[in-house]
A and B are shown apart, each in its own frame.
Chain A
Amino acid sequence: GENVEQHPSTLSVQEGDSAVIKCTYSDSASNYFPWYKQELGKRPQLIIDIRSNVGEKKDQRIAVTLNKTAKHFSLHITETQPEDSAVYFCAASIGTNAGKSTFGDGTTLTVKP
């Protein structure tokens, strides 16, 4: 089955700096790669996703890049703010079936004011 590894497990940045979280996956049949933000005690919320026919996608301060050859994808957050502090999860899905996603173990991002 699919295996997703996520690094780093914790990340601390100063407000205004950029943050980068990286994930690798094992199954070349995976074609859908979402990123979720989970605040303490709350549900995971989709913040951005990318499909395998696209190499990069951007939404305001958030961007995701995908390298299918190397089987890795990354989340980039620019101009970080304290409210960006949360746990971020990457995931991969075989085909484009988001409902059978394999998740990484998460990155705890702390943005210091």
Chain B
Amino acid sequence: DAGVTQSPTHLIKTRGQQVTLRCSPISGHKSVSWYQQVLGQGPQFIFQYYEKEERGRGNFPDRFSARQFPNYSSELNVNALLLGDSALYLCASSPRTDTQYFGPGTRLTVL
């Protein structure tokens, strides 16, 4: 079975721009979570979606939004990019709300 996939792998944007990151969960997994990992720190929770409904939101500004589609894939959108948004964005999926499996991440650089 394929693992969690994310696209794109790398992305370079300038301040003020908008970005959309994509995640495909493991087949059969209905829960998708998004995390931001700044260099040298642990992943920080952004959103969780389960069965297309938001199940939780971390301490991030409204510039961050997400959604989950009927096939359980998910998108994370970030508007009005700041330099501090530069990070590795990780997607994780799980069958319900138990053990989660991470994707390879999208490396976002904001210049």
Residues of A within 8 A of B (CB): 1, 4, 6, 32, 34, 36, 42-46, 49, 89, 91, 95-106
Contact = CB atoms under 8 A, between A and B. Distances in A.
Interface of B: 31-33, 35, 40-45, 48, 50, 55-56, 58-59, 90, 92, 94, 97-105
Given A43-B104, A105-B41, A100 B98 contact: no
A30 to B, nearest CB: 13
B62 to A, nearest CB: 18
Given A43-B105, A45-B102, A105-B42, A99 B59 contact: no
A49 B43 CA distance: 17
23 contacts: A36-B102, A43-B103, A43-B104, A44-B90, A44-B102, A46-B101, A49-B99, A89-B42, A91-B42, A97-B48, A97-B56, A97-B97, A98-B98, A99-B31, A99-B32, A99-B48, A99-B50, A99-B56, A100-B45, A101-B43, A103-B42, A103-B43, A106-B40
Q: Give the 7 A-B residue pairs with the shortest CB-CB distance, closest first.
A: A103-B42, A99-B33, A97-B97, A43-B102, A99-B48, A98-B100, A100-B56
Contacts of A91: 42
